């Protein structure tokens, strides 16, 4: 099941950063607030998951995957 969650450093704060988990991540339990789940357009998540995120061993942040 795919989830959307917000990340924060301090329990009394929540920025605008969010993540889409594409698989189970039990190590994150109790540390993140889940605020939604994907119910449509699962194929879009599959396309995002297929994008390369490493280049020569360095993590690469995907900024624009494809136009909507």
pLDDT digits (tens, 9 = 90+) for 8-25: 666 666 555 666 777 777
How far apart, in whole angstroms, are the C-alpha atoms of residue 52 and residue 59?
Answer: 9
Does residue 26 form part of some domain?
A: yes
Tell me what pLDDT residue 56 has: 74
How far apart, in whole angstroms, are the C-alpha atoms of residue 17 and residue 33?
Answer: 12
Overall domain count for the chain: 1
The residue that leads in pLDDT, 43 or 31, is 43
Does residue 28 form part of some domain?
A: yes
Domain range enclosing 48: 3-59
Position of tokens 């991540």? 25
Does residue 64 form part of some domain?
A: no
Per-residue pLDDT of 32-55, as tens digits, reads 777 777 788 878 878 877 877 777
What band does 64 get if pLDDT is binned at 50, 70 and 90? Answer: low
Q: Is 24 helix (H, G, I), strand (E, B) or coil?
A: coil
């Amino acid at each position: 099941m795919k989830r959307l969650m917000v990340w924060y450093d301090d329990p009394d704060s929540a920025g605008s950063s969010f993540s889409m988990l594409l698989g189970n991540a039990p190590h994150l339990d109790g540390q993140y607030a889940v605020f939604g789940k994907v119910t449509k357009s699962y194929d879009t998540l599959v396309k995002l998951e297929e994008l390369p995120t490493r280049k020569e061993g360095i993590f690469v942040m995907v900024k624009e995957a494809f136009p909507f």
